[in-house]
Amino acid sequence: MDNEDIILCFCKHPEAGLVKSRLAKDLGDDHASVIYKTLLEETLNNTSHSGFKTFLYCYPDTNHPTLKQYREKYSIILKKQSDGDLGTKMYHAMMDHLIDNKNIILIGTDCLEIDAAYIQQAFNQLNSDKDIVLGPTEDGGYALIGANKIDASIFQDIEWSSEKVLRQTVEKINELNLEYSQLPIVRDLDTFKDYQYFSTHEKYCHLF
């Protein structure tokens, strides 16, 4: 069915040495990959509970057995990420769907705080009067971007993985005279300090 609100989720193959490099410096590649897998599955659990159709955009491809298991478990659709830098991949993924669907939300797999309620809040903004919605992170980036109209420039000349990502993105949005809103700030799980926070947090410790 077209004209839906849908979720796009970016992920990598959950393999040791390929994911969570910053976390691996303290915990080792194997432990970091286990945590990544936990984050990925919890993300899909949250999108499933939200009730919105979810597309899992995979890197480098969709052939990993764990991802195929998740496809069946969570009734998601696997897609391969396009070539290019992160911004190019994000833009192409969103453009794949914006022609036929009403609102698109794109997330990663690093943020346990993006639950079904947070996702619904994002769609509520897009279904009111906003063109774009952002879910900012404590480190100056964003963990969610949603849109019903988009322009390639929003993803160009961004210093990805820096504290400037959110500010630079907002500047691009303002240059286009698009209406946007920001959701409550969330925390990614990228570093050992983040791991300590979530693994001892009453709401999330059971995952670890």
Q: What pLDDT score does 3 carry?
A: 76
Inform me whether the pLDDT recorded for 2 exceeds 90.
no
Predicted confidence (pLDDT) per residue in 160-174, tens digit: 999 999 999 999 999
Rounded to a whole number of angstroms, the distance between the first and last alpha carbons of the chain is 38
Structural domain range at position 86: 5-207
The identity of residue 69, as a single letter, is Q
User: What six digits make up the tokens of 187?
Assistant: 């925390």
φ/ψ of residue 145, rounded to 5: -135, 130
| Segment 185-202 mean pLDDT | 97
Q: What is the domain count for the chain? A: 1
Helix/strand/coil percent split, the chain, to 5 = 45, 20, 40
Indicate which CATH number applies to the domain containing 187. 3.90.550.10
Cβ contact 64:12 at 8 Å: no
Q: What pLDDT score does 153 carry?
A: 97
Predicted confidence (pLDDT) per residue in 22-42, tens digit: 999 999 999 999 999 999 999
What element of type H or E holds 77? strand 77-80
Burial class (CB in 10 A: 0-12, 13-18, 19+), 21: exposed
Predicted confidence (pLDDT) per residue in 96-146, tens digit: 999 877 999 999 999 999 999 999 999 999 999 999 999 999 999 999 999
User: Residue 82 has what DSSP assignment?
Assistant: P
Cβ contact 104:8 at 8 Å: yes
| Segment 54-72 mean pLDDT | 98
Predicted confidence (pLDDT) per residue in 134-146, tens digit: 999 999 999 999 9
Q: Which runs of consecutive H residues, i.e. helices, occur in 104-191?
A: 116-126, 165-175
Residues above pLDDT 90, as percent of the chain: 95
Which residues, listed in sequence order, are joined to residue 135 by a DSSP beta bridge? 144
Q: What pLDDT score does 101 carry?
A: 79
